[in-house]
Amino acid sequence: MENSPAMPGDKMRLPMKGMLLAAWRFRNFIFSSIRNDFRARIARSKLGGAWMILHPLAQVLMYALVLSAVLSAKLPGIDNRFAYAIYLCAGILAWSLFSEIVSRCLTLFIDNGNLMKKVAFPKISLPLIVTGSVLVNNALLLVSIVFIFALLGHYPGADVLWLPLLFVITIMLALGMGLVLGVLNVFMRDIGQVVPVVLQFAFWFTPIVYSSGMIPENYRGWLAFNPMYHVATAYQNVLVYNRAPEWKGLLMVAVLGMVLLGFSLLLFRRASAEMVDAL
């Protein structure tokens, strides 16, 4: 990340509105950092930015090859012999955006400890840079998935226009959760070891590699308590089944995301000075 001019009073605990205004004043720093992060990822790789989308697509291919023969017949509503691969792509798109933001926020302040100590800039810029960088990666993945859909003979309809709103809801949930965990991880490093394991469990408890209809009806109601179930289902409805998201559950996720994001900003503001001392 680039050095920025000193910001007077940066060590003061600004109210949340002040933090956001400070981030707006440093928007050029944020955008240039996102661009530099993207360039750094592709600078020493012959395939460049392709690796950002090859990893999730390789995951899709692995699951499709191993499980499609077992599960493809159990995906009603998709008239395509590559139904399972199409279903997987939609779920992986949702999960990759969520999990990458959470994972990168988890170690964000630890990884940038020296920068936080030596350079005067609004610290709220760091999660915004991460979010922007992950969003660029996810947008490239979306373009690749749409291209793959076309090759497989599947064409999403007009309901794909709901995707930007689904991005916003997913980002709010992931950023709120990731910031809380990232702040706590500065003071309790065990959190950094536990969260990746929890994310693995959460992935398998989210209908991505299987459909919710495969879960016994007695246990299906528990899915409603998993926020990513509603998010992944919304992506699948839009990209796979060509229908609008189910808003009842999605609105609850949006409210949860806003609450988590507000709490994370409050926690971040109050702990920012202590974090610098602890790093």
Report the amino acid identity of residue 260.
Answer: L
Are 174 and 101 within 8 A, CB to CB? Answer: yes
Distance CA 238, CA 147 (A): 16
Residue 14, pLDDT above cutoff 50: no
Chain position carrying tokens 């697509």? 57
Note the pLDDT tens digit of each residue in 179-214: 999 999 999 999 999 999 999 999 999 999 888 888
Terminal Cα-to-Cα distance of the chain (whole angstroms) = 18
Note the pLDDT tens digit of each residue in 62-112: 777 766 666 655 566 676 677 888 888 899 999 999 999 999 999 999 988
Res 39: pLDDT: 77
How does DSSP classify residue 159?
G
Cβ neighbours of residue 274 closer than 8 Å, sequence gap 6 or more: 187
Residue 119, pLDDT above cutoff 90: no
Res 9: pLDDT: 39
Res 50: pLDDT: 62
Cβ neighbour number for residue 50 with a 10 Å cutoff: 14
> Which residue, 268, 274, 271, 90, is CA-closest to 177?
268
37, with CB counted inside 10 A (0-12, 13-18, 19+), is middle
Q: What is the mean pLDDT of residues 243-260?
A: 94
Are 275 and 193 within 8 A, CB to CB? Answer: no
143, with CB counted inside 10 A (0-12, 13-18, 19+), is exposed
Distance CA 50, CA 57 (A): 10
Q: Which of 28-37, 44-53, 103-112 has the lowest mean pLDDT?
A: 44-53
What is 59-116 written as a DSSP string? HHHHHHHHHHHHHGGG-TT--STTHHHHHHHHHHHHHHHHHHHHHHHHTHHHHTHHHH
Report the amino acid identity of residue 186.
Answer: V
Residue 171's pLDDT band (cuts 50, 70, 90): very high
- Which of the two residues, 9 and 211, has the higher pLDDT score? 211
Q: Is 48 left (phi over 0), alpha (psi -120 to 50) or beta?
A: left
